[in-house]
Amino acid sequence: MKRTVLIPLAVAMIASVAAPLRAERLKVVTTYPYIASIVEQIAKDTVRVDALARGDYDPHTIVPKPSFIAKLRKAHLLIINGAQLEIGWLPPLLKQANNASVNPGTRGFLDLSGHVTLIDVPKSVSRAQGDVHPDGNPHYYIDPHVIPRLARAICTKLSEVDSRNAAMYKKNYDEFAARWKAKRASWDAKLRRLKGAKVIQYHKNMDYLLIRYGLVRMGTVEPLPGIPPTSKHIAELEKIFESNTIRFILQDVYNADDSSRHLSKKFGVKMVKVPHDVGAVREAEGIFSLFDEMVRRLTQ
Partner 1 sequence: MSDILITAFALSVVLVGIHAFFGTEIIRRGIIFTDLAIGQMAALGAAASLFFIDGQFVYPISLGFALAGGLLIAWASRHTDNLEAFIGLMYAFGISAVYIILSKSAHGMEEFQRLMASDILFTPQEEVVKTAIIYAVLGVVLFALYRRIDGFWKDALFFVSFAVTVTSSVKLAGVLIVFALLVAPALIAIRVGGGRPLVVAWIVGTLVNLVAIALAHRFDFPTGYTIVFCNALLALLVTIIPRRAKRG
Binding site for partner 1 (CB under 8 A): 60-61, 63-67, 69-70, 73, 88, 92-93, 95-96, 127-128, 130-133, 223-227, 230
Smallest distance, Å, CB 8 to partner 1?
A: 36
Judged by beta carbon, residue 143 or residue 222, the one nearer partner 1 is: 222
Cα separation, 56 vs 273, whole angstroms: 12
Cα separation, 168 vs 144, whole angstroms: 24
Judged by beta carbon, residue 148 or residue 223, the one nearer partner 1 is: 223
Smallest distance, Å, CB 262 to partner 1?
A: 19
- Using alpha carbons only, how large is the chain's radius of gyration in Å? 23
**Residues near 205 by beta carbon (within 8 Å), at least 6 away in sequence:** 139, 142, 252, 276
Smallest distance, Å, CB 217 to partner 1?
A: 17
Smallest distance, Å, CB 96 to partner 1?
A: 5
Q: What are phi and psi of 200, to 5 degrees?
A: -115, 135
Judged by beta carbon, residue 88 or residue 148, the one nearer partner 1 is: 88
157 within 8 A of 79, measured Cβ to Cβ: yes
Judged by beta carbon, residue 58 or residue 111, the one nearer partner 1 is: 58
Judged by beta carbon, residue 61 or residue 163, the one nearer partner 1 is: 61
Judged by beta carbon, residue 148 or residue 225, the one nearer partner 1 is: 225
Smallest distance, Å, CB 57 to partner 1?
A: 12
Task: Taking each helix axis as running N to C, give the angle between helix 231-243 and helix 258-267, from 0 to 180 degrees, rounded to the nearest 10.
Answer: 30
Smallest distance, Å, CB 270 to partner 1?
A: 27
Judged by beta carbon, residue 52 or residue 271, the one nearer partner 1 is: 52
Smallest distance, Å, CB 167 to partner 1?
A: 36
Judged by beta carbon, residue 33 or residue 144, the one nearer partner 1 is: 33
Smallest distance, Å, CB 78 to partner 1?
A: 17
Between strands 109-111 and 270-273, the pairing is unpaired
